[in-house]
Chain A
């Protein structure tokens, strides 16, 4: 399993002097195979050393048995001759050279699907509603009290719920299936529609998390009465379906929510961080209490 602290390894496919070029279709097939495995690829015609960086660990090319020396800043770069090898064999060669460098491979059992919110800086007003809403510490603030996606890997895959609470339609999930959440241009209709979705709390008769807590408590009570875990779980699922539909929250995410007490604690924590960020913004703008009171 790879962590976000590591860069994805890069491969240089070298076709400069001293290397025989690949035929177009063969080149495309090889690059596709490497990308689908999770590698980044640089196609270099001249000066592989210039194309390499500290994520580069291997240079491959058809060197006719005479692989050149390649250096990269602060890195050891292996050079392999791939003359006569099929794309699959070259991928095998690269895998071998990678050794124990972590690689996030699409479709692998332990891979991480890069699903997380992306802020449109042009639209975001730093109102911190998303920070208050998210229970998973995805959001944070930078040194200037502006919103920042701090922990992308904390986000729940396929859940775009926070984008529904953004009054400016500034939160995108590039791998979502529809606009404007996928990054498509935002129309006035979208702004109106998204604003309506903020009223999800009204739709559900109160604060979203309060409602979740209530639902959870109801299910717990029912469980104690009926002494049937299966029935209680089924009931909880039925109740949560409405929420899932309204906010496009995958059921798995709702099922994975922490205990009501933990939700309450996390939600209070998030609200506190959002309030601190807003106070910081106001102070920086000279409109907040911190700015108006020199003693604070």
Chain B
């Protein structure tokens, strides 16, 4: 690949999974995330269902996995990170640890998913991998902090994750 060609590779590649064969991702979340991505004016890829793609061992998954290993940041809006990594592994295209950011639409509100996808917010990525209880606790804590208005956003000792 020439230097010119290398320079044309975008630094970030975004992938959106519609999870079209099941209702496990809240419809309002996946709808709002798609609207946010489409309204961002940036290019992205969207697939009807990542599970379906993995079952077919679609070579495109290998392309995406390779891109991430070559330095492109791959941001994926889908479901649990453990499941997404498992799906790429099943498709013989395992994802590396570095360069892959998975946003969990089963757990996070759309605005947090979009913060991760469009701005690379690392806390959104971290929340995506957290367990249900942790995420709920975090959400509740955030709500309390917001309600307290101007108080500094500290978390009580007992709620540390």
Interface positions of A (Cβ within 8 A of B): 4-8, 10, 21, 24-25, 27-28, 31-32, 35-45, 47, 50-51, 53, 55, 104, 106, 111-116, 118-121, 149, 152-153, 172, 174-177, 179, 182-185, 187
Contact = CB atoms under 8 A, between A and B. Distances in A.
Nearest to A26: B38
Contact of B48 (A35, A51, A176): A35
Contact of B43 (A7, A43, A183): A43
21 contacts: A7-B58, A7-B60, A24-B39, A27-B38, A28-B39, A35-B18, A36-B20, A40-B46, A40-B47, A40-B53, A45-B42, A47-B8, A113-B21, A114-B49, A115-B51, A118-B83, A119-B90, A120-B85, A172-B82, A174-B80, A187-B131
A18 to B, nearest CB: 16
A121 B57 CA distance: 17
A184 B34 contact: no
Interface in B70-100: 79-87, 89-90, 94
Interface string B113-139: 000000000000000011110000000
Interface of B: 8, 18-22, 24, 31, 34-35, 37-39, 41-49, 51-60, 63, 79-87, 89-90, 94, 106, 129-132
A39 B52 CA distance: 11
Nearest to A22: B38
Nearest to A190: B131
Contacts of A104: 48, 52
Contact of B82 (A10, A35, A183): A183
Contacts of B8: 47, 50
Contact of B132 (A28, A53, A179): A179
